[in-house]
Amino acid sequence: MAEHLRTPIVCVLGHVDHGKTSLLDRIRGSKVTAGEAGAITQHIGATLIPLDSIVKLNGDLGKIKTNVPGLLFIDTPGHHAFTTLRARGGALADIAILVVDVNEGFKQQTIEALQILRNCKTPFVIAATKLDKIPGWRQTPNASFMKTFKNQSERVQMDCETKVYELVGKLAEMGFNSERFDRVSDFQRNLVIVPVSSMTGEGIGDLLMVMIGLAQRFLTEGLKTTVEGPGVGTVLEVKEEKGLGTTLDVILYDGIINIGDEIGIATADGAMSTKVRALLQPRPNQEILIEDKFQRVKSVVAAAGVKITAPNLAGVVAGSPIRVIRGNKDEVLAKIEDEMQEINVKFSEVGISVRADTIGALEALSKELEEKGIPIMRADVGPLSRRDLIEIGVMKEDNFKTALLFNVPMLPDAEAMVNDGESDVKIFSNRVIYKLIDDYIEWRDELERAKEAKRFETVVLPAKITLLPDCVFRQSGPAVVGVRVLGGTLRPRVDVMTREGKIVGEVKQIKLNKENVSEAKEGAEVAVSIDGVTIGRQIDVGDVLYVAVPERHVKVLETEMIKSLNAGTVEALEEYVALHRKTQPFWGK
Number of helical H runs and strand E runs in the chain: 15, 31
Selection from 265, 281, 151, 255 nearest residue 203 by Cα: 151
489: which strand partners?
521
61: which strand partners?
none
d(CA 180, CA 195): 8
Percent of the chain with pLDDT over 90: 40
282: which strand partners?
294
122: which strand partners?
none
Q: Which strand ranges, in their side-by-side order, compose the sheet holding 124-129?
A: 45-50, 70-75, 9-14, 95-101, 124-129, 191-195, 178-180
Domain 232-340: assigned CATH number: 2.40.30.10
Q: How far is residue 165 CA from its own chain's centroid?
A: 31
The CATH H-level (homologous superfamily) assignment of domain 3-225 is P-loop containing nucleotide triphosphate hydrolases (3.40.50.300)
> Is the CB of residue 71 less than 8 Å from the CB of residue 47?
no
Collapsing DSSP states into helix, strand and coil, what is residue 393?
A: helix
Q: What residue ranges of the chain are covered by domains with CATH 2.40.30.10?
A: 232-340, 463-581
For position 146, what pLDDT does the model report?
93
Angle, nearest 10°, between helix axes 359-371 and 83-92? 130
Q: What average pLDDT does range 180-190 have in this prediction?
A: 86
Beta-sheet pairing, 463-474 with 544-547 = antiparallel
d(CA 260, CA 276): 5
d(CA 219, CA 67): 11
DSSP result, 263-281? EEEEETTEEEEEE--EEEE
For position 148, what pLDDT does the model report?
94
For position 265, what pLDDT does the model report?
94
We find that the CATH architecture of domain 463-581 is: Beta Barrel (2.40)
Collapsing DSSP states into helix, strand and coil, what is residue 90?
A: helix
Q: What average pLDDT does range 285-313 have in this prediction?
A: 78
We find that the CATH architecture of domain 352-457 is: 3-Layer(aba) Sandwich (3.40)
Q: What residue ranges of the chain are covered by domains with CATH 3.40.50.300?
A: 3-225
| pLDDT digit string, tens, across residues 403-453 | 999 888 999 999 999 898 888 999 999 877 778 999 999 999 999 888 877
Collapsing DSSP states into helix, strand and coil, what is residue 523?
A: coil
d(CA 142, CA 139): 9
| pLDDT digit string, tens, across residues 125-184 | 999 999 999 999 999 998 999 999 999 999 999 999 999 999 999 999 989 999 999 998
Regarding predicted confidence, which is higher, 1 or 63? 63
96: which strand partners?
11, 124
Collapsing DSSP states into helix, strand and coil, what is residue 533?
A: coil
| pLDDT digit string, tens, across residues 373-386 | 999 999 887 889 99
Q: Which residues contact 466 (CB under 8 A, 6 or more apart)?
A: 483, 484, 486, 542, 543, 544, 545
Angle, nearest 10°, between helix axes 20-28 and 204-214? 90
The answer, yes or no, to whether residue 63 has pLDDT greater than 90, is no
Burial class (CB in 10 A: 0-12, 13-18, 19+), 253: buried
d(CA 74, CA 96): 9
Percent of the chain with pLDDT over 70: 86
Q: What average pLDDT does range 366-377 have in this prediction?
A: 88
